[in-house]
Homo-oligomer: A and B are copies of this chain.
Amino acid sequence: MAFSLRPVDGAFYQLFSESAQHLVKGSALLAEMFADGTDRAAKAKEMREAESAADRTTREIVQRVNKTFVTPFDREDIHDLAYRLDDVMDEMEKAADLINLYEVAEFPAEFAKQVDLIQRCAELTAAAMPRLQTLDVDEYWLEIGRLEKAGDKSYRRMITKLFGGQYDAIEVLKLKDVVDTLEATINAFETVAKEVEQIAVKES
């Protein structure tokens, strides 16, 4: 592996970890939004702040990659990984916004399970970022793949429930919009994992 021979700028691993930590924070906020008696408007505001913080980290990575002579892996890949992490945050922020705006009295229990999956994805991603340095990331992206498959199954169950006749059309519209955004969040984690896999294959 060509990797260990390069003078490596360790700051990138630090920044990617920081970026993933924003996602851990965001997924925790999402989970809190489904708890009883939460002030959802307050949580949505916290989420917007978390999203701004994530934006700043992304910008820092992009500026550093363009100023650094020797990067630990391909410039293009650093850039793409930074933006793919940022995309996850954008989906989370959208989900929080919708949950707040739609004023749904009570979400079906399956929704919280989907958010559990999101939290596990965030934690796995945060744990994997420092391991980019040794390319010990196979177990990470395989596990994200498994969580994504679990998310798909859970998505299908939720859709079946939504259209089961229990909800009126306006409620279906609201709930489906939230479900779709939660699913997009998990898919965005999978896109991050595919980018990491590609970096590992290339560098190993």
Contact = CB atoms under 8 A, between A and B. Distances in A.
Interface of A: 62-63, 66-67, 76, 79, 97-98, 101-103, 156, 159-160, 163, 168-170, 172-174, 176, 198, 201-202
Contact of A169 (B62, B67, B169, B176): B169
Contacts of A170: 163, 169, 172
Contacts of A172: 170, 173
Which 3 A-B residue pairs are closest in the complex by CB-CB distance?
A: A169-B169, A66-B202, A66-B201
A15 to B, nearest CB: 15
Contacts of A98: 159
Contacts of A160: 101
Contact of A198 (B62, B169, B176): B62
28 contacts: A62-B198, A62-B201, A63-B201, A66-B198, A66-B201, A66-B202, A67-B201, A76-B76, A79-B198, A97-B156, A98-B159, A101-B156, A101-B159, A101-B160, A101-B163, A102-B159, A102-B163, A103-B163, A163-B170, A163-B174, A168-B169, A169-B169, A169-B170, A169-B173, A170-B172, A172-B173, A173-B173, A173-B176
The prevalent SS among residues of A at the interface is helix
Nearest to A98: B159
A174 to B, nearest CB: 7
A202 B75 CA distance: 11
Contacts of A97: 156
A198 B97 CA distance: 28
Nearest to A101: B159
Contacts of A102: 159, 163
Given A76-B76, A163-B174, 8 more contacts: A66-B201, A67-B201, A97-B156, A101-B156, A101-B159, A103-B163, A169-B173, A173-B176
